[in-house]
Amino acid sequence: MTRNRDRARTAGSAGSAGSAGTVESGESGGADRTPPFALFLIFLRLGLTSFGGPVAHIGYFRDEFVGRRKWFDDATYADLVALCQMLPGPASSQVGMAVGLNRGGLPGAAAAWCGFTLPSAVLMILFAYGVTAIGDAHATGWLFGLKAMAVAVVAMAVWQMASTLCRTTTTLSLALAATIVILLWPAQAGGPAVGQLVAIVGGGLTGRLLLSADSGAHSTPVRVSVGRGLAIAALLLFVAALVGLPLLAWASGDDLIAKVAGFYRAGALIFGGGHVVLPLLQAAVVPPGWIAQDQFLAGYGAAQALPGPLLAFSAYLGTAMAAGPGGIIGGLIALLAIFAPSFLLVVGMMPAWSRLRTNPGVRAALAGVNAAVVGLLLAALYDPVFTATVHGPQELAFVLAAFALVAVWKLPPWLVAPLAAIAGWLVFDGM
């Protein structure tokens, strides 16, 4: 009986190694595939319980898919994470898409994204209806508390990203140069959105010329196979939408197309973490007057209290901008637009990843881009996050208290956000 158990265990380990060490989205044996609805339920549970931001999400995924389900070994999972961190977009959501793509093809990738995003998207849509029902966000203390929370979270993100991505004189100089470019970029030259794009592209080109590729440890190579035609089509669609949507919005003058273009561009240019979406979205939706600055920052602060991807914040923006009965549709459109680039890039880049992951030029350019986005986030910390929130010593004290809770006392943002909202209500409305 013991011999039979050992034989079964050995066979199971061999089966796990055969499927775990391979990342494929093509047809595979039935044992290697998971029905889309089952993937949806797995990721729905993760979307309900994954607090703590993208890094924590990746840890939850590792526990689920490497530790518990044995779908991947650690080296294979690390390679998936490396791919998603190299691509623009929210890394944790892209890892989920890649897992779904591996286990269930395109339907599996879509099911994984839907399950992981649904809880936070629903909560953000409901929050948007609450904010629009209140009306004047400027006079509401609890919304100020959430804005203060946003200042603390962005400041913490700048510090952590700079510590990781700007360790040399060159990368730190790149970050500061990007900050200066964005803060001084003239409105006549296209406004903040163009300045941000110039900073990111300039960072990549400068990194390619001046920086060396990271020579640290590499994860074990894995086979990544998506049909070549499907991959090329996905990449072409990614580029066509990035270039074509703004042109179509300009030619037609249609506000809806312009909004979709703004959310798509934001999703396509996120490097270095989900918090980078703040300046990209702010530049897309606040200057045209689609949403007030106070409501924008309040929603961003509220998003810190929720599990799941930070980019579900887009559902709040789409709902608040549409208002009325059409708000839910607006929220869903914004959500799809901001995540579409990630989906297309994961599908399109998986076949090329085995080559790109070791290319020194690509790695050096990416290091430059990452340094530039630290500067982009630093510029956003000053304007609009700080300037729209702090107008005197009382507001500054409130922001410093929120920052101390997050940075010094290490309290999780999902706990500090509701505390900040309650404190803001007590200080500014309750007294």
Domain ranges of the chain: 13-108, 143-429
Q: Give the pLDDT band of residue 143 (cuts 50, 70, 90).
A: confident
Higher pLDDT, 225 or 233: 233
What is the pLDDT, as a whole number, of residue 249?
A: 94
Is the model's pTM score more than 0.95? Answer: no
What is the pLDDT, as a whole number, of residue 317?
A: 95
The secondary structure of 325-394, three-state, reads: HHHHHHHHHHHHHHHHHHHHHHHHHHHHHHHHCCCHHHHHHHHHHHHHHHHHHHHHHHHHHHCCCCCCHH
Interval 79-102 mean pLDDT: 84
Q: Is the pLDDT of residue 355 over 80?
A: no
Distances (CA, A) of 96 to 56, 79, 192, 407: 13, 13, 31, 28
Structure confidence by residue, pLDDT tens digits, 57-80: 887 888 899 888 988 887 678 767
Q: Give the pLDDT band of residue 136 (cuts 50, 70, 90).
A: low
What is the pLDDT, as a whole number, of residue 1?
A: 45
Task: For the chain, give the mean pLDDT.
Answer: 82
DSSP of 164-204, one letter per residue? HH--SHHHHHHHHHHHHHHHH--GGGTHHHHHHHHHHHHHH
Which range is least confidently modeled, 45-54, 103-112, 246-255? 45-54
Q: Give the pLDDT band of residue 173 (cuts 50, 70, 90).
A: very high
Q: Give the pLDDT band of residue 15 (cuts 50, 70, 90).
A: very low
Q: Give the pLDDT band of residue 307 (cuts 50, 70, 90).
A: confident
For residue 225, the surrounding DSSP H or E stretch is strand 223-225
What is the pLDDT, as a whole number, of residue 214?
A: 56
What is the pLDDT, as a whole number, of residue 219?
A: 42
Structure confidence by residue, pLDDT tens digits, 394-428: 889 999 999 999 889 988 877 888 888 899 888 87
Q: Give the pLDDT band of residue 429 (cuts 50, 70, 90).
A: confident
Best mean pLDDT range from 29-38, 63-72, 278-287, 332-341: 332-341
What is the pLDDT, as a whole number, of residue 134?
A: 64
Instruction: Please say whether the beta carbons of 355 and 86 come within 8 A.
Output: no
Q: What is the 8-class DSSP label of residue 89?
A: S
CA distance 51 to 63: 14
Distances (CA, A) of 282 to 64, 207, 216, 340: 35, 26, 36, 19
Q: Is the pLDDT of residue 273 over 80?
A: no
Q: Is the pLDDT of residue 160 over 90?
A: no
Q: Is the pLDDT of residue 313 over 90?
A: yes
Best mean pLDDT range from 97-101, 213-217, 293-297: 97-101
What is the pLDDT, as a whole number, of residue 274?
A: 66
Q: Is the pLDDT of residue 123 over 80?
A: yes
